Amino acid sequence: MKTFLISVKRNTKLFFKDKGLFFTSLITPLILLVLYATFLSNVYKNSFQSVFGSFNLQIDEKILNGLVGGQLMSSLLAVCCVTVSFCSNMLMVQDKISGANSDMLITPVKRSTLAFSYYISTTISTLIICFIALSASMIYVGIIGWYLSFLDVILLLLDVILLVTFGTALSSVINFFLSSQGQISAVGSIVSSCYGFICGAYMPLYSFGEGLRSVIMFLPGTYGTALLRNHALGGVMEELLSSGMPEAAVTGLKDSIDCNLYFFGTRVEVWVMYLITIATIALLITAYVLINIFCKRKKK
């Protein structure tokens, strides 16, 4: 156990001591927040206004801003929980490139201890950065329109933890097969450019075609985004209902911004979203354990 803890400490220290890696990971979500707020907030605002206009509703500016803020926050967190974990988990590959990994395997330490130490240290580093991103997003939402309850905040924290665990498990399985700097860069670029689209963070799945939407519904990251959407926008939705917006209109709005997801026409409940996310994490961790065992046997 002590060996495991010291390895986790070593990995975490190396991540935070690598200024380039740490600041790039930290600054990416903050830059995304600024870009979202600068370029997308008006687009979202106009889109919401047109929805309310179609119902002849006069919505308070603060509620409108709360909607925009909630959507920005959930999109940002959905993306950065996964992309930052790929960035943090680079150490696993860098150790292979530098020979540090082979050197560690000369000692009697178990491969599983090393593999699990990478997993936990990546989770810790990613969580620290994502909690900073969450705090920055909450400050932004607080400034423009806060409708989050205490429970919403707790659930958002839980969502971030779940998504970071998911992102770390996914990056552990993928990074296991990488062994060069070029491969790290390629995977990093692909993940950061594509993940936001396929998890419904950049564009609501509602705006995609039927076929594409059906395919994306098989990807577990989608449900993580939906969880964040539900908890970041739950308070605003309640406020809309109290301000006289018909329930059908609120449901329509929830559908359009992926608070509600439909799997072949059947609405996916929030508890099912949790179940899918947790099951996926369990599946990915099992895969990570199996590939470690399988590759060990292969070398023997």
**Site for other proteins, rule CB under 8 A:** 2-3, 6-7, 9-10, 13-14, 17-18, 98-100, 102-109, 299-300
The H or E element spanning position 263 is strand 261-263
CB of 164 to other proteins, least distance (A): 23
**Closer CB to other proteins, residue 38 or residue 107?**
107
CB of 103 to other proteins, least distance (A): 4
CB of 167 to other proteins, least distance (A): 24
Indicate the DSSP class of residue 37.
Answer: I
What residue type is 64 in one-letter code?
L
**Left, alpha or beta for 109 (phi > 0: left; psi -120 to 50: alpha)?**
beta
Give SS3 for 268.
strand
**Closer CB to other proteins, residue 9 or residue 267?**
9
CB of 96 to other proteins, least distance (A): 12
CA atoms within 13 A of residue 90's CA, in its CB half-sphere: 23
**Closer CB to other proteins, residue 13 or residue 267?**
13
User: Around Cβ 237, how many Cβ atoms within 10 Å?
Assistant: 22
Distance CA 60, CA 179 (A): 54
Query: What end-to-end distance do the CA atoms of the chain give, in Å?
Result: 25
Sign of CA dihedral 285, 286, 291, 292: positive
**Closer CB to other proteins, residue 60 or residue 103?**
103
CB of 108 to other proteins, least distance (A): 4
**Closer CB to other proteins, residue 45 or residue 110?**
110
Contacts of 123 (CB under 8 A, 6+ apart): 85, 164, 165, 168
Distance CA 141, CA 146 (A): 6
CB of 124 to other proteins, least distance (A): 16
**Closer CB to other proteins, residue 117 or residue 230?**
117
